[in-house]
């Protein structure tokens, strides 16, 4: 194997083969040590300090409050290497509310208390207090972090988390199955002028107040309110859109050299919007999805749902005397928000030369066929781990919008999630059985349910029961979409699983039928942590419950989660040793800690 590696690299000299061979052997030893022990020899701990606070900022050229980190919006990009231990000390400077930070896409193997989910993995950090998140960045990939308490993600609490491949020994072969000369990172989000508090209260009010469509789409926290360049293209309106200034809202420009290949990392933390990205005149080759390599495929535009991340490669092989638009538009909902724009700037021309060609037009918002084609193209890179051939358990989750006592909620199998005061991880580990409902939520829904009609009987209820998964069992989840409360309406929902990757076995139309299982893709299904369920359709996924902890599985649309669109999985919790006290100081676990202390006195 070493010989083939060396041949690929074109090393001929005998002495070099020898030296390199030793280096390679050494790294094999290091990495196998890493998978057994908690730290590999070559890995390090990377320390970060985050101060989370409200501040004035102008993300879309309109001044307002954002939740910033260390005086910046979005939060700083964390860039580490695979195998590193990441230690982030988060200090809550929000004054009057709690905070947590979730590391989206990191599985938290062996550290479920560092997942950063309020009421699930930990107590929210009180104002003035700090919490240290310590976890292993075990897998190279493009990830993000964001608030996971109330609707703080909508308020701007997010940033990028990039895990590069392990440190390369000199002259060693590249560890990634593709090559590039430079890279960019785009963190996509959507922005409202209404504060998350107002949004949150509106969603929990009767009569219901919907948050509406975002005022702007942001690329790396930068967007332009009312810049309608994409809709009516002309160079005169371009002046009103600030493309080259130094404003907080001035776009993040992609500066490139001709005839190079760039890696574009793209991740979405939108609260609501599903997006589509295109670079005028340039094709993209998708190579990574949610931290896993995919079989490369080329596309003119790509869909990206909230909670997803991709890497694409593009080559700057177009006319180098002009610039090009990068455009990001809304999918799945009638767009009232103009596309976000930035510029692919060839160094061979001036930045003040706005692109002569109009920005690429995103596919029609309700062209779901286009989206399904894209989703189905995402397949595992040849040689990726394949799923177990069968599963031990199948959980069907019917996604509905319902009324509960006049309040509009989202429900799964008629149960709408309302999180408990005591985080599950502590209450399950220490058997505090009163902390949440004993009864597990339903595994399926009545077979006669008509998914093409609004929910008729309004018997859905609030709930906080958990699905307990047997350790190391293989679980299938079928997400079944249905009609929302309004007639002829079914929405997209991007579902995200904490603590795991799952294989996406397939998407289907209408109601899932037993025979659909025959069509599951067991050959090359992609491993992801977020997957969309299309309107009136179903999505099937499979994962192995091999990570002791309590894990959220929910729609990544922030208002939907707030309205109850999620479930909770618990697996192997009793196998965990002690849980660090730091995150237990609330509810019944807080009381338990106090009682223990008093008994000692
Ligand atoms: Cu990025 Cu539970 O979410
Ligand atoms: Cu949703």
Q: What is the pLDDT of residues 364-380, one digit of tens each?
A: 999 999 999 999 999 99
Distance 323 CA to ligand 2 centre (A): 37
Tokens encoding 397: 């989750």
Which atom of ligand 1 is closest in space to residue 561's alpha carbon?
A: 2
Distance 560 CA to ligand 2 centre (A): 5
Distance 430 CA to ligand 2 centre (A): 32
Which atom of ligand 1 is closest in space to residue 554's alpha carbon?
A: 2
Nearest CA owner, ligand 1 atom 1 = 104
H-helix or E-strand spanning residue 425:
helix 424-429
CB atoms within 10 A of CB 246: 6
Distance 531 CA to ligand 2 centre (A): 11
User: At 576, phi and psi to the nearest 5?
Assistant: -70, 145
Distance 566 CA to ligand 2 centre (A): 9
22-31: long-range contacts, CB 8 A cutoff, minimum separation 24 = 23/169, 23/170, 23/172, 24/169, 24/172, 26/169, 27/166, 27/169, 27/172, 31/83, 31/166
The answer to whether the CB of 146 is under 6 A from ligand 1 is yes
C-beta separation of 520 from 293 below 8 A: no
Distance 34 CA to ligand 1 centre (A): 27
C-beta separation of 86 from 78 below 8 A: yes
The answer to whether the CB of 104 is under 6 A from ligand 1 is yes
Distance 443 CA to ligand 2 centre (A): 19
The list of the chain residues with pLDDT below 50 reads 1-40, 230-236, 239
Distance 519 CA to ligand 2 centre (A): 26
With CA atoms as reference, report the closest residue to 466 among 426, 429, 436, 496: 436
With CA atoms as reference, report the closest residue to 147 among 93, 98, 195, 87: 98
Which atom of ligand 1 is closest in space to residue 530's alpha carbon?
A: 1
Which atom of ligand 1 is closest in space to residue 146's alpha carbon?
A: 1
Ligand closest in space to the Cα of 274 = 2
Distance 68 CA to ligand 1 centre (A): 18
With a CB cutoff of 8 Å and minimum separation 6, the contacts of 229 are: 237, 238, 241, 338, 341, 359
Give 77-129 as a DSSP string: PEEEETT-EEEEEEEE--SSS-B-EEEET---TT-GGGS--BTTTBPPBPTT-
Cα torsion through 224, 230, 233, 235, rounded to 10: 30
The answer to whether the CB of 562 is under 6 A from ligand 1 is no
H-helix or E-strand spanning residue 8:
helix 2-9
- Strand 301-304 and strand 292-299: the pairing is unpaired
User: pLDDT tens across 2-12, in order?
Assistant: 333 333 333 33
Domains of the chain: 1-32 (no CATH), 34-164 (2.60.40.420), 182-377 (2.60.40.420), 393-589 (2.60.40.420)
Which atom of ligand 1 is closest in space to residue 153's alpha carbon?
A: 1
The answer to whether the CB of 153 is under 6 A from ligand 1 is no
H-helix or E-strand spanning residue 590:
helix 587-600
The answer to whether the CB of 556 is under 6 A from ligand 1 is yes
Neighbours of ion ligand 2 (CB under 5 A): 493, 555, 557, 560
With a CB cutoff of 8 Å and minimum separation 6, the contacts of 19 are: none
How much is the pLDDT for 459? 73
The answer to whether the CB of 429 is under 6 A from ligand 1 is no
The answer to whether the CB of 560 is under 6 A from ligand 1 is no
The answer to whether the CB of 360 is under 6 A from ligand 1 is no
User: How far apart (Å, rounded) are the C-alpha atoms in residues 601 and 598?
Assistant: 5
With a CB cutoff of 8 Å and minimum separation 6, the contacts of 235 are: 354
The answer to whether the CB of 554 is under 6 A from ligand 1 is yes
The answer to whether the CB of 307 is under 6 A from ligand 1 is yes
Distance 277 CA to ligand 2 centre (A): 21
Ligand closest in space to the Cα of 491 = 2
- Strand 474-480 and strand 537-544: the pairing is antiparallel
With CA atoms as reference, report the closest residue to 196 among 74, 97, 51, 50: 97
Distance 556 CA to ligand 2 centre (A): 6
User: How far apart (Å, rounded) are the C-alpha atoms in residues 22 and 17?
Assistant: 9
Tokens encoding 83: 């195998």
The answer to whether the CB of 102 is under 6 A from ligand 1 is yes
The answer to whether the CB of 498 is under 6 A from ligand 1 is yes
User: How far apart (Å, rounded) are the C-alpha atoms in residues 447 and 452?
Assistant: 13
> Per DSSP, what are the bridge partners of residue 537?
509
How much is the pLDDT for 362? 86
Tokens encoding 445: 């829904």
How much is the pLDDT for 37? 32
């Amino acid at each position: 194997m070493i010989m083939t590696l060396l041949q690929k690299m074109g090393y001929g000299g005998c002495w070099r083969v020898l030296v390199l061979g030793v280096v390679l052997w050494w790294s094999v030893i290091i990495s196998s040590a890493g998978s057994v022990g908690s730290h590999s020899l070559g890995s390090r701990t990377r320390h970060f300090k985050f101060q989370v606070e409200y501040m004035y900022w102008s993300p879309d050229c309109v001044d307002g409050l954002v939740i910033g980190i260390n005086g910046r919006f979005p939060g700083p990009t964390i860039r580490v290497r695979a195998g590193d231990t990441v230690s982030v000390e988060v200090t809550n400077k929000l004054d009057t509310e709690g905070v947590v930070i979730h590391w989206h896409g990191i599985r938290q193997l062996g550290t479920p208390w560092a997942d950063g989910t309020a009421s699930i993995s930990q107590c929210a950090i009180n104002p003035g207090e700090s919490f240290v998140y310590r976890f292993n960045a075990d897998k190279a990939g493009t990830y993000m972090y964001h608030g996971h308490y109330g609707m703080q993600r909508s308020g701007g609490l997010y940033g990028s988390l990039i895990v590069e491949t392990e440190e390369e020994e000199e002259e060693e072969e590249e560890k990634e199955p593709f090559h590039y000369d430079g890279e960019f990172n785009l963190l996509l989000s959507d922005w409202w002028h209404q504060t998350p508090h107002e949004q949150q209260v509106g969603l929990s009010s009767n009569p219901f107040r919907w948050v509406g469509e975002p005022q702007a789409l942001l690329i790396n926290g930068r967007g332009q309110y009312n810049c309608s360049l994409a809709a009516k293209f002309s160079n005169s309106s371009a002046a009103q859109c600030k493309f080259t200034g130094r404003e907080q809202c001035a776009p993040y420009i992609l500066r490139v050299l001709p005839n190079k290949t760039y890696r574009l990392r793209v991740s979405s933390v939108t609260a609501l919007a599903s997006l589509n990205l295109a670079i005028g005149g340039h094709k993209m080759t998708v190579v990574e999805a949610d931290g896993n390599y995919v079989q490369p495929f080329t596309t003119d535009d790509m869909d990206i749902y909230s909670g997803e991340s991709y890497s694409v490669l593009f080559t700057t092989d177009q006319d180098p005397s002009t610039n090009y638009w990068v455009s990001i538009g809304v999918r799945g909902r009638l767009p009232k928000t103009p596309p976000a724009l930035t510029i692919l700037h060839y160094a061979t021309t001036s930045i003040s030369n706005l692109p002569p060609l109009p920005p690429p037009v995103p596919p029609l918002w309700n062209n779901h066929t286009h989206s399904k084609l894209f989703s189905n193209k995402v397949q595992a890179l040849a040689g990726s781990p394949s799923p177990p051939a069968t599963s031990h358990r199948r959980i069907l989750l019917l996604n509905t919008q319902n009324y509960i006592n006049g309040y509009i909620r989202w429900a799964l199998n008629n149960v709408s999630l309302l999180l408990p005061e005591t985080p599950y991880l502590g209450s399950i580990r220490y058997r505090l059985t009163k902390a949440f409902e004993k009864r597990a939520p339903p595994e399926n829904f009545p077979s006669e349910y008509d998914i093409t009609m609004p929910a008729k009987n309004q018997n859905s209820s609030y709930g906080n029961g958990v699905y307990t998964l047997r350790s190391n069992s293989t679980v299938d989840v079928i997400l079944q979409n249905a009609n929302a409360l309004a007639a002829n309406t079914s929405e997209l929902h991007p579902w995200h699983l904490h603590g795991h990757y799952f294989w996406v076995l397939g998407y289907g139309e209408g109601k899932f039928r037993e025979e659909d299982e025959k069509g599951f893709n067991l050959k090359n299904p992609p491993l992801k942590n977020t997957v969309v369920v299309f309107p009136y359709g179903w999505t099937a996924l499979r994962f192995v419950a091999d990570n002791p902890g309590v894990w959220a599985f929910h729609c990544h649309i922030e208002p939907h989660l707030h309205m109850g669109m999620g479930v909770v999985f618990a697996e192997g919790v009793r196998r965990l040793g002690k849980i660090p006290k730091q995150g237990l100081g609330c509810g019944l676990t807080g009381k338990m800690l106090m009682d223990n202390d008093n008994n000692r006195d």
